[in-house]
Amino acid sequence: MDTIISWLFKSLIASGILVMYYWLALRNRKFHHYNRFYLLLAIGISLVFPLLHFRLFNVAQPAYKPVNSLLS
C-alpha cells in the first residue's frame, strides 16, 4: 500500500513538472503535431518515471575492520 502511494505521489510530481513546462513553453506555439506528441509522451513519462530508481551518490563503506573485532 505504501509503495502505491509513493508511486502516485512521484507520478503527480512528474506530471506537474511536465504540464508546467507545456503551459510555459508550448501552449501558444504553432507546432500542433509536436504539442500532441509531447502531451502523449508526458503521460507515459509520468507513469513510468516513478518506477525507475536513480542513485545520486554512493556512500562507500570503510575497508578496514573496527579495532574491537581485531582485539577479540
Q: Which tens digit of pLDDT belongs to each residue from 39-70?
A: 888 889 888 888 887 777 777 776 666 666 65
CA 9/CA 15 separation, integer angstroms: 10
Q: Are 12 and 49 in contact (CB under 8 A)?
A: no
CA distances from 55 to 7, 8, 32, 51, 59 (A): 17, 20, 36, 13, 10
Specify the pLDDT at position 22. 86
Q: Considering the domain boundaries, does residue 35 fall inside one?
A: yes
Q: Considering the domain boundaries, does residue 40 fall inside one?
A: yes
pLDDT band at 71 (very low <50, low <70, confident <90, very high): low
CA 70/CA 72 separation, integer angstroms: 6
Specify the pLDDT at position 49. 84
Counted domains in the chain: 1
Q: Considering the domain boundaries, does residue 27 fall inside one?
A: yes
Q: Considering the domain boundaries, does residue 72 fall inside one?
A: no
Specify the pLDDT at position 47. 86
Identify the domain containing residue 6 by its residue range: 2-52
